Chain A
Amino acid sequence: MEKLRYERPIIKKLNVGFVNKFGTQAKNEVVTNLEGVGVKELIKEFGSPLFVISEKQIRRNYQHASRVFKTRYPKVQFAWSYKTNYLNAVCKVFHQEGSWAEVVSGFEYEKALANGVPGSKIIFNGPDKTDDQLVTAARNNSLIHIDHFDELYSLIKLSEEFQLKPKVAIRVNMDTGIYPRWDRFGFNYENGQAWTAISRIMSCEHLNLVGLHCHIGTFMMESSAYAIAATKLCQLSWDISEKFGRHIQYLDLGGGFPSTNTLKGSYLPGTDTVPGIDQFADAITDVILGFGFRQEELPLLILETGRALIDDAGYLLGTVLANKRLSDGRSSTVMDFGVNSLFTSFWYDHKVTPAQEGGQYTEETVLYGPLCMNIDVIRENVVLPLLKKGDHLVVHKVGAYNMTQWMQFITLRPNIVLLDQSSHPHLIRKAETLEYLESVEIVPHHLSKNS
């Protein structure tokens, strides 16, 4: 007979009376393996903490989103939002599936090129593009999305100087009934700024206006906002063709579709409240299809969906460092990963599950990271079984933004593993080492002498 697992004793308040309308508490979900690969084995091989990305899930997400749009609208193109996760392996999975690249900096632009994306399939967004980068993008026939007048003027000047004819679009910001309004990017629709920019571009023979772009926000919970955005872009496109006789080739509705993570402060979990991608697709395509474009002149619909395609393909595995009782009597657990690796724990109440079978008892716990900083809280309150030092936890839906916004702070960044379609793990980013970190440091001569 196997030795019974030791579990520390707890005292729990006994609830008597009727069950409330939410029913009894569900049994704690245990995730011992990811796509058939044991968490314990993964940690044993690649160390803890460890990011794990599922290639199968990425492809499933992409194909799902692609099908959802392409069965509703004849011309749809996705562009992978590099900032969401620009690990080369991840980007290449998206490009293999047919995704273009959407980049917001010169560094991302170069990364996309290096990943084999042809220049004409790179969308260059963002407020920060240097002159050199603009010229390179124009020469590569990339789609340059102009963010502000200063950029527009530089691009006009550069195009004249270098005899270029870049393909451009303008980013439009607008009131879609959503708060906060993202009016810091692009040209405003309501106050006529967008139209001024369009007129300026149309009067410049060096710029080729091919598209209109908007990005109304992030983690949008309201599909109707996209309908409003689509209507306004269609209206602009229509006006352009009326006034200038120019047929706008594409409408880029940007990103912002939510993943099923639970935002902090939400009463119900994200899985129940977040609209499905179908609803967004319906809202957008209904507007464009019904706007009155001739069939052969329907614009290409570009989507820069990031989060919704990658979030649930990423996991963070970690190990319990210690259990502590706080002064107010609450239980807390210290993990070997913190907000430095799991940046999104500032936004979400991440779903956390134990990676090994435990007893039936659970306890409300505060989940801390290992940093010697007070802000290092992963979950303020999570119901977990009674954990021991050395036990493993799995944090779910961490694929978006963490592996780009993470901080090298106090600890070094961990390994990242990709589970391929046959669940074979591949190390796709090595854990950082002191040498790696110091390879970019330069100690001035007068300090380098050991005295």
Chain B
Amino acid sequence: MNIKRHWGTINELILPAALNSYSIVFFLNNRLFAIGMIVLSFFNFYAGLSGLIATMTAVLIANTMGFDKIQLRQGLYSFNALLIGLGMGTFFDPGFVYFSLLFLAVLLTLILSVTLGGWLGKYGLPHLSIPFVIGFWLIVLPSSSFENLGLTQRNIYWINEAYSVGGSNLVNFLQSIDSLTINKLSDTYLRSLSSIFFQNNLLSGLLISVLLLISSRIAFTLSIIGFLTAYFFASFTGSATAGFSYYNIGANYIMTALAVGGFFVIPSKKSYLWTILLVPLTSLVLLFMTKLFNGIQLPVFSLPFSVVVIYFIYFLMLRRNPAGLILTPIQNYSPESNLYSYANNKIRLAQLLYYPLHLPFWGEWIVSQGHNGQYTHKGEWGKAFDFMLLDEEMKSFTGNGTRCEQYHCYNKPILAPADGVVEEIIDGIEDNDIGKSDLLNNWGNTITIRHLPGLYTQLSHLRKDSFKVAVGDHVKCGDILANCGNSGRSPQPHLHFQVQASPKPGTKTISYPFSYYLGAGSNGKKLFSFALPVEGEIISGVRTDNLLKRAFDLSPGTLLKFRYTDQSGLEHFNKWEAFTDAYNNSYLYCDTTNSSAYYVNDGNMLYFTTFYGSKNSLLYYFYLTAFKVLLGHYENLEIVDQLPLNTLPNRNGMIWINDFIAPFANRVKAKYSMLQTGSDDPYQPQSLTLTSKIDLSIFGKTRKACSGTILLDNNRIEKFTFLHNKIKIEATCISSSS
């Protein structure tokens, strides 16, 4: 048990923390990249070794001392230790004294990382590699007094080193690569990249650039942009002799480009432009610092990059209207993921800000006057709706229309648009004769309801003595409040609805959308989400269904167990549990694959927001299949949505190409759609089949990516299937509990 627990910690915390320390240096969170970097670091054996020792030491100490596991896991506490390990291993000879010093340096870097992180973190700023720079300074200056610590010349005679590791074969191989005749520009670029790990050879540079390309097209592009800008700026100003070393370009300019162009900022045209502007700026800071610190014999290392980036992020943060240049809201440690999930969330999740309001009536009503209407919705009272009922001939009444009772909407029940408390009721005002308005009692019989502090709805022109609720009552969404009437400024029966910030009837209006409603689509009904209906639109509310609601009730603590066979016929068991994180976001978690799928269930719709983890997991297939589920039973009503491209099943060549241009123009779209295809009862189904598919539109060409079905029965998700290329999954629920 104990061993198992330790193994769990190692597998889920220590190992990822150590690996991420290597990739986070390049602002990535990618195992392949990390492993590549570890291998590469051992090209200089002792540097690699002390880098690894430093990283592990920092991770283990941070874990033992109980620092934040999430930050630890991302490698945020330990990547500076890695840098100091690599740096010291490069410049000093190994020995007992050396390793003791290394340990002290790691401890110091960890303390600096935590404290600087804590201080800057309050402002939402990163500490970058400042702990490494300070830590290294504290070693470099005193080091001349430590007689037992020898400066090494290994990095000068690195061929000897290579010989001792791999014999003449390796030496020959390395030399043949290093002496490759490639043009000056590429040579400088590759060596600059390798210098980030304190090396100076083409092979490392080549490896890093290939790894960058595989891990992130945007990061790769940015590294080239950063390098070229620095290169040309140096040639242009003639500063090449002063500040032009591989390390300066690699660590300062390329890293600035990666940080500003695609990591802290959502990659875009503007972020690329700022990259081109900031690299020369970094160059100025670098030259200034070099001159300044030379006097006291301190190398500036990556200090200029850190300072410029931290200041720039803070600069961006203080904007009031951050249009165009967006600071990454949720860090996915991949420029592509940041870009695609941001672009997707911007469209899909804007609605999360709104409290869901529903239409306050049953049946299909027409918006007889919308926002800023031509009759009475003017100025501060402009964001209101008037609703009426029309018949097939688009008439609002039968007979000659001279009596209120002849109007279709008259006396119809008016419902609470959302849960709340009744704040005020005005009652006792008689209905007007048709064509007359009561300007004295403008709103007529009216009710206002408080839904949230600062969110009130007002419903007016109701019928006298029809109120079913009283002031102070708690009402539930859909409860009958009163009946539609013709009181107040109302020449013919209609319902006036507005959202306002205070409880008093008739205060100024707020533009606020209805959460879900059905309107006319190109063929049949269409679902509108968080939209403002417009004048003339005929709309009706969405009715939820108990089966769908119960089956997709994934409240925290819900356990779902599935049995499934994969394409090779092997049977697997899988268990998911629903959790809520510190920010009150719900997610399904699969501990076998360490995957989580975040979702929102607002009572009317269940939709996934993002997925982290293994793309070979059952949870991932479920995420794709049940990406968006309407919790109401409607046949022939297509639910559509867009998937974030970073969570697509396979990212083929065309999507790779799209990655390069996506910051400017995204040409790939993943369209999700779902239909309810089979039910045993049109009103209260006990069994229901949902069919979904994802279509990819790549540079204008559409093709089917994957499809799936979900069978609901026994008030749970009984079965689901997923089909993608050769993957064919059929999963059966073996137990569900909440």
Contacts and interface: CB of A to CB of B under 8 A. Distances in A.
A71 B389 contact: yes
Given A67-B391, A70-B362, A72-B362, A295 B683 contact: no
A295 B476 contact: yes
Interface string B337-381: 000000000000000000000000111110000000000000000
Interface in B451-486: 476, 478-480
Given A71-B389, A71-B409, A295-B476, A77 B546 contact: no
A388 to B, nearest CB: 36
Contact of A74 (B365, B543, B680, B681): B543
Interface in B365-423: 365, 389, 391-393, 408-409, 411-413
Nearest to A294: B476
Nearest to A59: B392
A93 interface: no
Contacts of B479: 295
A120 B680 contact: yes
B682 A71 contact: no
B684 interface: yes
Contacts of A167: 681
Nearest to B684: A249
A63 B394 CA distance: 12
Contacts of B365: 71
B413 A67 contact: no
A48 interface: no
Nearest to A100: B682
B631 to A, nearest CB: 11
B546 A296 contact: yes
Interface in A58-88: 59-60, 63-64, 67, 70-75, 77
Contact of B683 (A63, A67, A77): A77
B683 A250 contact: yes
Contacts of B389: 67, 71
Interface in A233-249: 249
Nearest to B480: A289
B646 interface: no
Contact of B391 (A63, A282, A289): A63
Contacts, number: 58
B544 interface: yes
A300 B684 contact: yes
A85 B392 CA distance: 23
Contacts of A300: 683-684
Contacts of A71: 361-363, 365, 389, 408-409, 412-413
A141 interface: yes
Contacts of A70: 362-364
Nearest to A167: B681
A141 B680 contact: yes
Contacts of B361: 71
A77 B409 CA distance: 20
A267 B303 CA distance: 103
A121 interface: yes
A328 to B, nearest CB: 41
B413 A72 contact: yes
A296 B544 CA distance: 8
A250 B389 CA distance: 26
A120 B681 contact: yes
B364 A67 contact: yes
Interface centre among B363, B365, B409, B546 (most CB of A within 10 A): B363
A3 B271 CA distance: 92
Main SS of the interface on chain B?
A: loop
A303 B135 CA distance: 82
A79 to B, nearest CB: 12
B683 A75 contact: yes
Contacts of A59: 392
A67 B408 contact: yes
A392 B606 CA distance: 64
Given A67-B389, A67-B391, A296-B544, A120 B362 contact: no
A72 B365 CA distance: 12
Nearest to B408: A67
A194 B361 CA distance: 35
Given A71-B361, A72-B412, A295-B476, A64 B680 contact: no
B681 A75 contact: no
Interface string B673-684: 000000011111
Interface string B257-270: 00000000000000
A174 to B, nearest CB: 25
Most buried by B among A63, A74, A77, A282: A74
Contacts of A73: 362
Interface in B274-293: none
A75 B392 CA distance: 21
Interface string B544-575: 10100100000000000000000000000000
Contacts of B680: 120, 141
B469 to A, nearest CB: 13
A11 B549 CA distance: 77
Given A70-B363, A141-B680, A60 B412 contact: no
Contacts of B480: 289
A74 B682 contact: no
Contacts of B684: 249, 300
Contacts of B549: 296
Contact of A249 (B363, B393, B683): B683
A120 B681 CA distance: 7
Contacts of B476: 295
Contacts of B681: 120, 167, 249
B403 to A, nearest CB: 13
Contacts of A249: 681, 683-684
Given A120-B682, A249-B683, A295-B479, A75 B543 contact: yes
A295 B478 contact: yes
B541 to A, nearest CB: 8
Interface string B238-274: 0000000000000000000000000000000000000
B524 to A, nearest CB: 12
Contacts of A64: 391-392
Interface string A6-28: 00000000000000000000000
Nearest to B412: A71
Contacts of B412: 71-72
A34 to B, nearest CB: 18
Nearest to A296: B546
Nearest to A60: B392
Contacts of A121: 682
Interface in A380-437: none
A59 B393 CA distance: 11
B686 to A, nearest CB: 9
B391 A74 contact: no
A141 B544 CA distance: 23
Contacts of A295: 476, 478-479
A17 B393 CA distance: 45
Contact of B363 (A60, A67, A289): A67
B484 to A, nearest CB: 9
Nearest to A276: B398
Nearest to A282: B411
A64 B362 CA distance: 15
8 contacts: A70-B364, A72-B363, A72-B412, A74-B478, A75-B543, A77-B682, A249-B681, A296-B546
Given A71-B365, A121-B682, A289-B413, 19 more contacts: A60-B391, A60-B393, A63-B391, A64-B391, A67-B363, A67-B364, A67-B389, A67-B391, A71-B363, A71-B389, A71-B412, A74-B478, A75-B543, A167-B681, A249-B681, A250-B683, A295-B478, A296-B549, A300-B684
> 5 closest A-B pairs (Cβ-Cβ)?
A71-B363, A70-B363, A300-B683, A71-B412, A249-B684
Interface of A: 59-60, 63-64, 67, 70-75, 77, 120-121, 141, 167, 249-250, 282, 289, 295-296, 300
Interface of B: 361-365, 389, 391-393, 408-409, 411-413, 476, 478-480, 543-544, 546, 549, 680-684
